[in-house]
Amino acid sequence: MKPSGRIVNLASTVGRLDKYSDALQDRFRNPASVADVTKLMGEFADAVRRGKEGEEGWPSAAYAVSKAGVISMTRILAEELERDKSTVEVTCCCPGWVVTDMTKGRGYKTVDEGAQTPVLLALEGSGGRPGTFWTDEKIAEW
pLDDT of amino acid 140: 95
Active-site position among 33, 45, 63, 108: 63
CATH of the domain at 19: 3.40.50.720
Helix/strand/coil percent split, the chain, to 5: 45, 15, 40
**Hey, is 2 helix, strand or coil?**
coil
20 is catalytic: no
Using CA atoms, how far apart are residues 126 and 6, in angstroms rounded to an integer? 10
* pLDDT of res. 98: 78
Number of domains in the chain: 1
> Do 56 and 1 contact (CB within 8 A), yes or no?
no
Give the Cα separation of 18 and 90 in Å (integer): 24
The pLDDT tens digits of the residues spanning 30-78 come to: 999 999 999 999 999 999 999 999 999 998 889 999 999 999 999 999 9
pLDDT band at 19 (very low <50, low <70, confident <90, very high): confident
Residue 93 domain boundaries: 6-139
The DSSP code for 141 is -
Q: What's the chain's average pLDDT? A: 92
**Distance (Å, whole) CA 82 – CA 63:** 29
Helix (H) or strand (E) holding 114: helix 111-124
The answer to whether position 1 is within a domain reads no
Q: What pLDDT is recorded for position 104?
A: 67
Residue 66 lies in a domain: yes
